[in-house]
Structure 1
Amino acid sequence: MTQSLYEQDILLWAEDTVAKLKARDFEHLDLEHLIEEVESLGISQRKELLTRLTRLLEHLLKRLYVPSPEDYRGWENTIREQRRQLRFLLEAAPSLKRLWAVSFDRAWQAAYEDMSDAYPQIPFPSIWPYEGEIEVVLTANFWEREPPSHEGH
């Protein structure tokens, strides 16, 4: 059985597909793989949002609750980098903003569980104690603020 161009060289397949689309040669498109690739692009973007948000929240939790001043600078560098990458991602795919709340909740749960396992002696809050809006999460230095009151929680 002969391998398709897609199976032989995905980059060459992508270039060939773009050329066919530009030429409006729809009859010769490999629609099955084109659909698969477009679907996976959306999945990839959503996964990257979740992954970067989880990493950001993990480092925010460490910076906020783990008393290890010698690590603060490294954690803050990771926080800045994840924020930068999240801003780039949201600029490239603005529709991801509509998934922010659900992604934030999933990322928070994962970050909370991971940090609770990694630092069992630290009593991390079970819910994110600050604002969860995009701009706040991507800019605020929460460790420079007064800890939020837990009244009503």
Structure 2
Amino acid sequence: MPIRTATARWEGNLTEGSGTMTTGKGGYQGNYSFKSRFEEGEGTNPEELIAAAHSGCFSMAFSKGLADAGFTPTSVETVAKVHLDKTDAGFGVTRIDLETVGNVPGIDDATFQKIAEGAKENCPISRLLSPGAQITLSAKLA
């Protein structure tokens, strides 16, 4: 399996500095700063990139689980909300809320929910993040 990479460059001090993050193959490059991470400034931040990774991984795992069960999804759209909170140990990702909507012809809600829960538990990014953060799921049929 390939090894995936990304790079980050930061210039200056924590509160006034700025940086860029770039994915290994250059598909994404974004600016980030103290304000984009801890306030509402322009640019991205590490938590948004975690949200992108988690929503993408979950959507793929859910689509595979649906197909394995005999249901071909028309679409799966997932939003991941990453909570960065101050704790006694400092700032940390404490919770990730996955909200997914699937357009899946011929499936009943109980089966849809079971497969969604399996994807939440087993996608590689969920498995990576679940020891340190609570992961919730809201799954709806379109």
TM norm structure 2: 0.39
> TM-score, normalization: structure 1?
0.36
* Bigger helix share: 1
**Higher RCO structure, 1 or 2 (CA under 8 Å, sep 6+):** 1
Q: Point out the structure with max Rg over C-alpha.
A: 1
Q: Which has the higher strand share?
A: 2
